[in-house]
Structures are given as C-alpha cells and as structure tokens.
Amino acid sequence: MNCSKCLQKAVFSSPALCKNHFLAYFESKVKETIQKYKLLPNKKIKLVVACSGGKDSTVALYLLNKWGYKPTALAIDEGIKGYRPHTLLDLQKFCRENKIPLQIYSFQKEFGASLDKILKKLGGHPCYACGILRRYLLNQKSRSFDVIATGHNLDDESQSILMNLCNGNLALSANLGPKTGAFSHKKFTERIKPLYFCSEKEVMAYSLLKEFEVSYHECPYAYLSFRGKVRDGLNELELSEKNVNERLVKNFIGLLPAIRKKYSSAKEPQACRICGEAGRQEICRACQIVEQLVGNKTTVLKQQTSC
Ligand SMILES: [Zn+2]
Ligand SMILES: [Zn+2]
C-alpha cells in the first residue's frame, strides 16, 4: 500500500500514509483539538502533564513540550511491583533527555502504603483504591498549576462513555470531553486531553515511529477491570463496524452540553472533614481508604496534615 499523499510506502493503513505524512497528520490532529476546544489559550499557562511512562502520556508530554508550553511532568508511583518501577525509569530518562522537570509522588510516602500493600490489607478491586488515590494525588499535587493534561485517547474516552452508561453513572460523564467543565471549583485543577481524537492505534504508531522508549505493557491489574472488558468488546466491534469508537465519541460530544446542563446543578463538592480536599462526602473517599488501612479512627485523625 502506498501513501495517499505521495508515492512512498505507507506505514499506516487508515488513513494510508507514509512515515512523514503520518507524523504530520497526527500532530495536526492534536493541534486542531487544542485550538478548537481552547485547551491551552496561551503559552504562559502553567501546565503539568500527568505521566505514567507509557506511550499516551509520553506522546502528550513530548508534543506539548515541542510546541513551547513548558510542561512539568507529574507521576504517581502507586507501588505496583514488577511494573511501575521500570515505567518510571523510562519517564525519568525521557524527561532528562528533553529537559522537562519531573515530580514523582508515591502512595507509600503519601498514604503510608503501596498499592500492593493496600490490596493485601484491604482486598477489594485493585482499580477502586488505585483510581481514588491516584486522582486524589494528581489533583492535590497539581494545584499550583493552571491546567493538568492527560494522555487519554479516543479509545479511552469511548470506553469511559460506555462504562458510565452501563453503570448508570451519567453524572460522571458530565466531566468527560476534551476539557473538564461540568463545574469549576478552586480545589479542582482543570483537566485537558490533547489526544482526545487520536485512536489508540494512532498514538501507538506515533510513539513507535518516534522510537520513544516507553513500556507498551499494561498494568498487571488491568485484566481484572471492567474497562478491560469494555475495551475488548469495543475492539471486536471495531473490526466489523469501522470507526465505532470515533462515532461513539463524536455523538457523545453532541450530547455533552445537555448532560452538563442537567448535572451542573448537582450538589457542590464539600471540604473533607479530615484532609480538607473537595469531595462528595463528609469524609473523602481517599481518607476513607486511609482510615481503613490504619484501622483506627484516632490514628487517622492525627494524620490530618499528611493526607
Ligand atoms: Zn506520504
Ligand atoms: Zn480527605
């Protein structure tokens, strides 16, 4: 197959493009998303990129750095043996080579236990505790920045839309989209997704063509997640129903203003009684986990300042 724009051999099939034309196509897609959805109104904005050392966040970090947004990289070390340590090494190397400042925060230091230890002690679904604690730290540690960019791609978004629908959690979908906007609150850093319209395949191809040293393995706990099942289902559907992820996301964007309107009047977040962070309950879910970990309320209350 040849490139649809020149006679060179195509490295990507849909659209059929050679290496140079694919790289240009991918970059202009990300640029258009940033412009159309006003993700980054100017280059003075204080930007942090949530990084994992994986392909998606590394691609987002690379492009935002290349285009002069001067990002800081922020990574969370959940403490997943055999997985996270080497992705963090990849990220450290990438940041060093590209002269990007990097901040790493760990569950161990911030909550007193790694994810592996938390799961051993509390049991439950790994993604539950991990998701809550990771979002908590990302939000707390990004507070001195204006915007936090993530590496979420089109496939991730399509999975989230479907998961929220399946779970009857439409209110959560109000916070999806290229940029959060259901409600603004001084304790929530605005989140943007520059790779919003890039498929998983496209991000993978870009990362491989740029020869980024990143891990293409997924988290060892991922196979247990509902997201993994939804992803497998959508991937299978994509084989016969072309662009099903893209259609799902584009239709969703059409509905998003109505969803946001419906849920914008929802209860304002309140300050957690223990840590003061914004949450939906009197004690935020991160503090509830720490409370269970320590196993005694008095000890937890003493930890107020560190949580
Ligand atoms: Zn070409
Ligand atoms: Zn709390």
> Does residue 186 sit in the same domain as residue 120?
yes
pTM of the model: 0.91
> Does residue 89 sit in the same domain as residue 204?
yes
> Does residue 142 sit in the same domain as residue 238?
yes
Q: pLDDT, tens digit, for every residue of 164-202?
A: 999 998 888 988 999 986 556 677 889 999 999 999 999
**Residue 18, pLDDT score:** 97
Amino acid at 248: L
In a domain, 37, yes or no: yes
In a domain, 90, yes or no: yes
In a domain, 8, yes or no: no
In a domain, 143, yes or no: yes
Q: Which residues surround ligand 2, an ion (CB under 5 A)?
A: 272, 274-275, 284, 287
Residue for token pair 């050392």:
53
β-strand pairing of 72-77 with 102-106: parallel
Residues of the domain holding 293: 271-307
> Does residue 75 sit in the same domain as residue 221?
yes
- Element containing residue 192 per DSSP (H, E): strand 190-192
What's the CA-to-centroid distance between 199 and ligand 1, angstroms?
Answer: 20
Residue 2 φ then ψ, to 5°: -105, 160
CA distance 37 to 89: 33
Bridge partners of 299, per DSSP, are none
Dmax (CA) for the chain in angstroms is: 71
How many whole angstroms from its chain centre is CA 85? 19
Cβ-count burial of 260 within 10 angstroms (0-12 exposed, 13-18 middle, 19+ buried)? middle
**Residue 193, pLDDT score:** 98
- Length of the chain in residues, anyone? 307
> Does residue 168 sit in the same domain as residue 287?
no
> Does residue 63 sit in the same domain as residue 168?
yes
Q: pLDDT, tens digit, for every residue of 210-242?
A: 999 998 887 777 777 888 899 999 999 999 988
> Does residue 262 sit in the same domain as residue 163?
yes
Total structural domains within the chain: 2
What's the CA-to-centroid distance between 297 and ligand 2, angstroms?
Answer: 13
pLDDT band at residue 302 using 50, 70 and 90 as cut-offs = very low
What's the CA-to-centroid distance between 4 and ligand 1, angstroms?
Answer: 6
Whether the CB-CB separation of 62 and 39 falls below 8 Å is answered with no
> Does residue 93 sit in the same domain as residue 30?
yes
In a domain, 6, yes or no: no
> Does residue 167 sit in the same domain as residue 215?
yes
> Does residue 211 sit in the same domain as residue 78?
yes
Which letter does DSSP use for residue 12 in this model?
A: B
CA distance 212 to 210: 6
CA distance 222 to 228: 6
Q: pLDDT, tens digit, for every residue of 68-95?
A: 999 999 999 988 888 788 889 999 999 9
In a domain, 183, yes or no: yes
Count Cβ atoms below 10 Å from residue 206 Cβ, excluding itself: 25
CATH of the domain at 41: 3.40.50.620
Weakest mean pLDDT among 52-56, 148-152, 286-290, 295-299: 295-299
> Does residue 219 sit in the same domain as residue 278?
no
What's the CA-to-centroid distance between 236 and ligand 1, angstroms?
Answer: 29
> Does residue 65 sit in the same domain as residue 138?
yes
